[in-house]
Amino acid sequence: MLKRCSGCSGTRVTFKIVPSYRSAPPACEIFVRAQFDYDPNQDDLIPCPQAGVPFKTGDILQVISKDDHNWWQARFAANFPALGSGHLSSAGPSTSVAGLIPSPELQEWRTACLAMERAKDNSHCMWFSKKKKYYTTKYLQKHSSLFDQLDLVTYEEVVRLASYRRKTLVLLGAHGVGRRHIKNTLIHRHPHRFAYPIPHTTRPPRKDEVDGKHYFFVSNDSMLTDIQANEYLEYGTHEECMYGTKLETIRSIHRTGKMAILDVEPQALKVLRTAEYAPFVVFIAAPNLHGLQDPDGSLERLLKESEILRQAFGHLFDYVILNNDIDETIRQLDQIVEKLNASPQWLPVSWVY
């Protein structure tokens, strides 16, 4: 253009620079629930500990960038338990300071290294160690037996809804912490709100027991067939008779509009934690030993078992109640559940979309 105009006297060429009309890429609007504790000051891998965002299991984080393979950029959004508006960060996700958090890939790699360290004496897993190639190879081979054995937890993508109906109340806790008493008390006080799924059994009915009221009495072959068809949430044997909770009994409670109450083993959450059952998982923690007499050591054993459960399954809890006084625990739980469905909640994305 300039060459053509160079021979023309009095010609003026004007260049005008305008912004691109192409829209900028959308900002990352992903929220996740942390499934592990993280302290950047205790992390040897982070490039700058001061730039890290500390968090606890159950906290809500807003991910604002996933460009780096090892380090995401995120900001703190809400404390655990993130229920209602009162639990949100006072600064809010739009003004809280952003920083670095380990990516799921990095955290999985770290977890695999720690597991291998425990499995092998005198083995070390360091970021720049000579064995790095071996560890990363193990990491990339998702089919390896190591990853089959690990329960790798990092982050769970969540979304915040103004209201959501929870269909199942799941009580978790160490054996002897009082879950059965809590369950029975809630059902007795609110029979129109709560119900417990009637178990199935292969034993014959006793005197005055009614089929469908106390138990569903079934044959051994029938129960085994249903177990093989994955129709049971839990089952076991006691005095050569089988007992179990059938999933259909939970669904039938939901169809009546009531909330099913379950005091199950934590492994059952792998089945229950879906939109179909929409559980609200409450961990009944053992009381602290301060000022309590424990001559036979039963309270100490209860406390240790409770802590083991918290460490193994704490990423699945929605709420934790310290059971120092069982009447106060019931009152607190009753109050939470009553307001739950009308309160803002952070829910797994898989439950909503």
pLDDT tens for each residue of 12-61: 778 888 777 666 666 667 999 999 999 999 999 999 999 999 999 999 99
CA 218-171-173 angle, 5° bins:
105
Quickly tell me which residue has 């809400």 as its tokens.
78
Domain boundary pick from 140, 161, 182: 161
Query: Can you give the length of the chain in residues?
Result: 353
Phi/psi at 192 (nearest 5 deg)?
Answer: -90, -5
Instruction: Clarify whether residues 278 and 336 are in a common domain.
Output: yes
Instruction: Clarify whether residues 146 and 209 are in a common domain.
Output: no
Instruction: Clarify whether residues 154 and 169 are in a common domain.
Output: no
The Cα–Cα gap between 331 and 337 comes to 10
Mean pLDDT of 175-183: 94
Instruction: Clarify whether residues 215 and 151 are in a common domain.
Output: no
Segments forming the whole domain that contains residue 75: 25-161
DSSP state at residue 85: G
The Cα–Cα gap between 140 and 124 comes to 19
Residue 207 lies in a domain: yes
pLDDT value of residue 50: 95
Mean pLDDT of 169-179: 95
| Amino acid letter, residue 96 | S
What percentage of the chain has pLDDT greater than the value 70?
85
Task: For 272-307, write each residue's pLDDT tens digit.
Answer: 999 999 999 999 999 887 767 777 878 889 999 999
Indicate if the pLDDT at residue 91 is higher than 80.
no
Task: For 187-234, write each residue's pLDDT tens digit.
Answer: 999 999 999 999 999 999 999 999 999 999 999 999 999 999 999 999
Instruction: Clarify whether residues 151 and 42 are in a common domain.
Output: yes
- Which of 62, 73, 69, 124 lies closest to 100, judged by CA? 73
Tell me the two tokens of residue 289.
């030993």
pLDDT value of residue 66: 93
pLDDT value of residue 139: 38
Residue 232 lies in a domain: yes
Average pLDDT, the chain: 86
Instruction: Clarify whether residues 320 and 186 are in a common domain.
Output: yes
Residue 20 lies in a domain: no
- Find the CATH number of the domain harbouring 301: 3.40.50.300
Instruction: Clarify whether residues 277 and 215 are in a common domain.
Output: yes
Residue 9 lies in a domain: no
Instruction: Clarify whether residues 101 and 215 are in a common domain.
Output: no
Instruction: Clarify whether residues 214 and 330 are in a common domain.
Output: yes
Instruction: Clarify whether residues 139 and 196 are in a common domain.
Output: no
Asked if residues 305 and 174 have their Cβ atoms less than 8 Å apart, the reply is yes
The domain tally of the chain equals 2
Instruction: Clarify whether residues 141 and 169 are in a common domain.
Output: no
Secondary-structure breakdown of the chain: helix, strand, coil percentages, each rounded to the nearest 5: 35, 25, 45
